[in-house]
Structure 1
Amino acid sequence: MRKRLLLGDDHSLMLDGLSRLLSTEFDVVGTATTGRELIAEADRLQPDVVVLDIGMPEMNGIEAARRLAKTHPGMRLIFVTQQLDPAYVHAAFATGARAYVAKQSAAKELMEAIRMALADRYYVSPLVGGEAGEIARAEPRRNPAELFQTKLTPRQREVLQLVAEGKSTKEISTCLNISIKTVEFHRSSLMDELGLRTIAELTRYAIAQGIVNQ
């Protein structure tokens, strides 16, 4: 049987291109344009492989992958992204991902990356750098991006992303189904944790860490 794939990217042209590329060998059973939608579709469709970007609205790919790894440990997670800094590679593999492919070379590399992931092997795009194999297998080093992954709570990470996307306190409250006071509490905690003082600084931090796109 052909393996079933779910694709996550906030650009429809990218989704269309990946679907055409991958459907020659796999069954593309669904697509999603936000991290929250990706998780919902993974729950509904139960794919063998999830191919996702890092920069997605509402919930970024790193956070979505972490949650999928906990709830669906058998799913293979493969990142296809423009982010080539090793810090993001470490963060991606810390979630349990099996492959990390540069968008610039996805047409040439993605098929092989999926095959390797299904065979319980790792793949990192050569564009990441000469330490690709070591990065894939090594324990993540301490780095600025790791603060976002480990020091902040899941709820703080959700609030941080939505704040950086320009959502109002009321919109965040509705999106996360929490009270306005709770949103304000988490936002204040974020600023304390990160040593930041303004919403603009929070937004710049989120952009610098690749949590949201600029």
Structure 2
Amino acid sequence: MNKSVMIADDHTLMLEGLARLLSTEFEVVGTAPNGRALLEQAQQLKPDVVVLDVGMPELNGIETAHRLVKMLPSVKIVFVTQQLAPAYLHAAFAAGAKAYVAKQSATNELISAIKMALEDRFYVTPHAGAEAARLSSLHPKQNPAEMFGTKLTPRQREVLQLVAEGKSTKQISASLGISPKTVEFHRNSLMDELGLRSIAELTRFAVSQGIVNS
């Protein structure tokens, strides 16, 4: 029986292309346009493998991966992305990834990377350069431990991403299932904690952290 795979990417053409590619070797049981939708489906479908991008709306891929491994400890996580800087690679593997594939070479790399992940082996795209051979070394100008708002709570990171994406208090409230007052509390506490004074500054911080795409 083929192993089951779920795919998440916010670009429809990419999502469809990956589904076609992987259906030749695996059972594609679901697709999702963002991290939040992926988590909802994965809880029901319990796939063997999840393929996802780093930059996605609603909930980015790094945050999604952290939650996936808690929800489904046996799932194999494979990133397919254009983000090849060392900080992103370190954050992905720290979140529980088994493989990291470049989008531009997914046709050639992805199936092999998934098979390696299923064997509990790690894979890093050659497009990552020297980092593929030495994941243990850090980028001298960017410590991955300081990326993706890791000093913030998961709820704060959720609110920060949605604020940075331009969502209103009402929209964030509906998306997270919390009251508007709670949203305002989290937003204000973020500003206080980070020493920021406006939504624009929060947005710039979220971009600098890789929480949202620029």
Fold conserved (TM > 0.5)? yes
- TM-score scaled by length of structure 1: 0.93
SS at 2:148's partner residue?
Answer: helix
Q: CA RMSD in A?
A: 1.7
Aligned to 1:170: 170
Aligned to 2:131: 131
Aligned to 1:88: 88
CA distance in 1 between partners of 2:11 and 2:134 (Å): 31
Question: CA 1:140 to 1:183, structure 2 compared with 1: closer, same or farther past 3 Å?
Answer: farther
Q: Which runs of 5+ in 2 are unaligned?
A: none
Q: Which runs of 5+ in 1 are unaligned?
A: none
**Alignment length (residue pairs):** 212
CA distance in 2 between partners of 1:94 and 1:117 (Å): 15
CA distance in 1 between partners of 2:73 and 2:144 (Å): 27
CA distance in 2 between partners of 1:54 and 1:78 (Å): 10
Q: Is the 2:54–2:61 contact (alpha carbons within 8 Å) kept by the matching residues of 1?
A: yes
**Correspondences of 1:30-45 after superposition (within 5 Å):** 30-45=30-45
Report the Cα offset of residue 144 of structure 1.
5.8
Residues 158-210 of structure 1: per-residue CA shift (max 9 Å, x gap)? 00000011011121112112122211111122123323221111112222332
2:115 is equivalent to residue 115 of structure 1: yes
Aligned to 1:46: 46
Report the Cα offset of residue 114 of structure 1.
0.4
Report the Cα offset of residue 213 of structure 1.
2.5
Question: CA 1:177 to 1:140, structure 2 compared with 1: closer, same or farther past 3 Å?
Answer: farther
- TM-score scaled by length of structure 2: 0.93
SS at 1:134's partner residue?
Answer: coil
Moved more, 190-199 or 65-74: 190-199
Moved more, 55-64 or 202-211: 202-211
SS at 2:159's partner residue?
Answer: helix
Q: Is the 1:88–1:145 contact (alpha carbons within 8 Å) kept by the matching residues of 2?
A: no
Report the Cα offset of residue 58 of structure 1.
0.7
Report the Cα offset of residue 113 of structure 1.
0.6
Report the Cα offset of residue 150 of structure 1.
2.5
Aligned to 1:151: 151
CA distance in 1 between partners of 2:76 and 2:150 (Å): 22
